[in-house]
Structure 1
């Protein structure tokens, strides 16, 4: 019975998204409300499908971006990206030591906040051979804070009267996971979405040095590095857009379809947040994650406005 209701609601949400009646925030809320009311047992499946659908959507968005513009955005934002990541890592190390949080949990939350949420946590957890429970805790903390960011950032951006460019960079630097970055930016505007996507994926590349440093710190040797493959395909899609201008209408259509699936992926993300998931969160890691995130949000916003 529960399964049938979930399927009917999901199909209804898909139709509403197609009709442009649900944005990213409302889709996520619809998934969250459904999960909390029905208390279904498919949270793991929903989160897994959401993660894969998100990656495909990001690749699709690449067809709507010009490679030259992508490279220019990466160059323009390199300095503030580096500074924000350095501040996040330094602050995270200090906070988890002061709060006496286990070093593995603290480092995973720090990495997820500084780089790209779940992807960074997954890569670093392999490098430091983290206990599965600590990895799950870090992912859940970052996951919950992502949801807060998805709703609050667009309102703060409008309140501060940030431009599309400023908001896109700020969202890319201050929000953990790619899904929430593109979700928040899509609510702010198409230009913001393009800038945020390019900047966020450039930030994601910092997984490589951060994972290497974590491996050396814990193990004293290099560990296997995991660069998300979807980033490579995103760049290739952008390169195709630049190299074959005659296909521009087709590429634009692919990009629009990707936006649909992106919002549906956020619905599935919310659908994966059951009461059981929320109960797994310990207060100290959650407080640490919130402190670290607020510091990163304030510092990155100052960098965007004044640097």
Structure 2
């Protein structure tokens, strides 16, 4: 497997060899398009166009010590190919321009210099109601449009789910996991012990993880949070479905609601988002709350940290609510 770099000459040679560049097309500039975690990603500009190159390696790009399935970009391609059957969904995601399965490289349409929604984690930043409802509508249409039994392509994505499972339902509950939470926020390490020592909580997290690993009926983006939502000149776009799989809708919506809570979005707005979904698609609210709880614990106590502005007291309050929801019958 070739490991690509940002060297223009090497990139040009590779892209010409794979016929991703047209005759006479020369790379003018190369840049990193955004703050990514999982993959090696570049924006490449030629005289005629710009496009995105994404390569998945055998590790997480931001955390090279963390092993990851090197074929994950191919599962993302599976998702794009499947949703291309639905014009409304396809219109909100980038097109695939090329795919190198041997080296796990995908060439994507460049959506432009948009910004994601991670600014919501900063104090006082609220999402516009119409934008949130559009994001919820995308998830609703996605879940309603595909059934595992009838879809033209199966996407089990077992290896990516196994990786995610480890970081959602195991790693945050380990007392010795190599992560000093005080480096993130002083006092958080000591506060975490109440959850890491709670055997009932760890048991419930394990049970929830087993549900996550089961195959389900709905096509899920798999990582539907502000970092996967882009605001562009052409409107809202959705990216990075590499954790996609057929599973329970409660996981997808649970994750989204968790991030809205950690971003301190207005309670009325969060309820409107839930109401918008449930008027068009079924949702087990008890299970949704548990998946919300699992995501909150994972993000506050786990490796995949967010740029949260909330203080220690608010994080503990979120953890307590999450604990109670996970322990509820």
Judging by fraction of residues, say which structure has more strand.
Answer: 2
Structure 1 or 2, whichever has the larger Rg, is 2
TM-score by length of 1: 0.26
Judging by fraction of residues, say which structure has more helix.
Answer: 1
Q: Which has the higher contact order (CA 8 A, sep 6+)?
A: 1
TM-score by length of 2: 0.25
